[in-house]
Amino acid sequence: MLNFELLAPELTLAATAIVVILLDFVFKRKWWLAAVSIIGLAVSAGFTVSMWGGGSVALFNNMLAVDSFALFFKLLFLVIAALVILASAGYVAKFRRFQGEYYALVLLSALGMMLMAATSELISIYLALELTSISLYVLVGFLKDSKSTEAALKYLLLGAVASAVLLFGMALVFGFTGQTQLGEIAGAIQGMSLAGVLSSPGLIAGMVLMVAGFGFKVAAVPFHMWVPDVYEGAPTPITAYLSVASKAAGFAVLLRVFYSAFGLPTWLSLDWGMLFAILAAVGMTLGNVVALPQTNIKRMLGYSSIAQAGYLMVGLATVGFASAGDVAGRSGLLFFLASYALTNLGAFIAIIAISSKLDSDLISDYAGMAKRAPLLALALTLCLISLIGMPPAAGFMAKFYIFSGAVQNGLLWLVIIAVINSVISAYYYLRVVKVMWMDKPASRAKVPSPAALRVALAVSCLGVLVLGIVPGFVMKLAEMAAQMFAF
């Protein structure tokens, strides 16, 4: 018995994507396409919200789970996609062709991400991942200039390598356990003796290869090399999209796979917990240190996102170290993702507005932006402060939440590294703030921004403040989502 209404959010999104492509032939005014996309996203979000609290249901022979965890992420992706589309409206209007395809591809990749968060079976995970990735490959190359094309090609080739690695890992895990459904894999592993697992290295190898495959998606060191080039070359709204949605989807899958399939026995979870802890330490240090000398703000935020992936991995490490019933690590990760998504989107949206006027991504060209575009500068400042992790912005609460969970589970050393890293990161984030507020502007010309973009920016900044000042509600949601791991 199939409950199609449980797939309503995904079906709505798929239908909207098709409708948008068709309407592209009809409408002369292309901003209608953005409006239709937003409506589709809103309807889909409505379905998602209405399912909240309905318990966990498995679909298609346990391939797909509809649980609070999946719903939390679906909502997050829908919000991100809506904000990206709002922010793109002005940007895309400059394209002469393929505007409909742009929106449709954003919607389809969002659909892929929603499926990624919901799948509980290796093959469907792979399919969802590919649906997401292929849409994104196209979007990265959408500008068709040399940089954008180069970025897309690099992303495609490296992405293909990562997919291959991931498939190889999945194959090993399957070969070792004979199962592809996460819960059944867990059962198979727990049914084996410790000696049995140790004598056949295939399981560990499969796990590591899967870490590598997903690590590519979340920009974890050492699978991060594509990030700066692709971020710099891609259309800025897509960079924003990549940096938050794609990363969040990667973490959703990582969390589900490792918690559900490899969560027990304890020695195994300690093993991968340690792996993530080390990746976290390396990732944040490398990301932050390399971000220091950057002069291009998109590249800087690229490295910053590598560092943020490191902070997020602190949460994954905590999940590995915590006992299976401890919800703090998982919910901390979810809260961090939500706050990071809003923050980074806000920063990128401000950059879209400023850079498209300046026609430059150089930090030095942001001089005196506080005089030329006070609200944009203020918003960007707030987001950068949030990225550092200072109150009253969301980033502070998120870091506090995730780090306190790590300390409670004996990862003090990792938190010390993370805090030192936060201090280093303050330097390059605040440098942008200083340039905007202290330096003399190169010209007096105001920087205008389209209304839709301003709405998107206002929403993100408001979200950053709300999560920073009254985080209770979202924390509650994250806790509920983290508890409802059905499969």
Partner 1 sequence: MPSELVWLIFLLPLFSFVIISLFFRPFLNNRPKLGGYITIAALLGSLGLSIWALFEVMAAPGHSIPIPDINWVVIEGGLTIHLGLILDSLTAVMLLVVIIVSLMVQIYSQGYMKGDPGYHRYYAFMSLFTASMLGLVLADNLLFVYVFWEMVGLCSYLLIGFWFHRPEAANAAKKAFIVTRLGDFGFLAAILLLYFNTGTFDIGQLNTLAAGGALAGTVLTWAAIGIFAGAAGKSAQFPLHVWLPDAMEGPTPVSALIHAATMVAAGVFLVARTFPLFAHSMEAMTTVAVIGGFTAIFAATMGLVMTDIKRVLAYSTISQLGYMMLGLGTGGVAIGIFHLFNHAFFKALLFLGAGSVNHATGTFDMRRMGGLRRFMPWTYATFLIASISIAGIWPLAGFWSKDEILVSALQAQPILFYLAMITVFMTAFYMFRVVFMTFGGDYRGGEEGHGKPHESPAVMVMPMVVLAILAVVSGFWNVTGQFGALFGHGHTQGFAEGFFGILTHALPWISLILAGLGILLAYAIYSARWLSAERIGAMFKPLYTLFLRKYWLDELYEQVIVRLVLLKGLFAAFQAVDSYGVDGAVNGLAKGVMASGKAIRRAHSGQLQLYGLFIGIGIIVILACFYLFG
Site of interaction with partner 1 (CB under 8 A) = 153-154, 157-158, 161-162, 165, 201, 204-205, 208-209, 211-212, 216, 221-223, 225-226, 228-229, 271, 275, 286, 289-294, 326-328, 331, 397, 401, 404-405, 408, 424, 470-472, 475-476, 479
Q: Exposed (0-12), middle (13-18) or buried (19+): which is 364, by Cβ within 10 Å?
A: exposed
**Residue 349 C-beta: closest distance to partner 1, Å:** 24
Residue with smaller CB distance to partner 1, 391 or 448: 391
Residue with smaller CB distance to partner 1, 117 or 211: 211
**Residue 43 C-beta: closest distance to partner 1, Å:** 33
**Residue 312 C-beta: closest distance to partner 1, Å:** 17
**Residue 330 C-beta: closest distance to partner 1, Å:** 10
Residue with smaller CB distance to partner 1, 20 or 337: 337
- The phi-psi region of residue 316 (left if phi > 0; otherwise alpha if psi is between -120 and 50; otherwise beta) is alpha
What is the C-alpha separation between 481 and 67, in angstroms, rounded? 8
What is the C-alpha separation between 160 and 262, in angstroms, rounded? 25
**Residue 285 C-beta: closest distance to partner 1, Å:** 10
Residue with smaller CB distance to partner 1, 434 or 476: 476
Residue with smaller CB distance to partner 1, 209 or 352: 209
**Residue 190 C-beta: closest distance to partner 1, Å:** 19
- SS3 (DSSP) at 121: strand
Separation in Å, CA 175 to CA 163, 201, 265, 271, 397? 18, 12, 19, 21, 42
* Tokens encoding 70: 């999946």
**Residue 376 C-beta: closest distance to partner 1, Å:** 20
Residue with smaller CB distance to partner 1, 165 or 377: 165
Residue with smaller CB distance to partner 1, 360 or 404: 404
Half-sphere exposure of 478 (CA within 13 A, CB side): 24
- Identify whether the C-beta of residue 246 lies closer than 8 Å to the C-beta of residue 312: no
What angle separates helix 68-92 from helix 247-256, to the nearest 10 degrees? 170
Residue the block writes with tokens 């990206």: 84
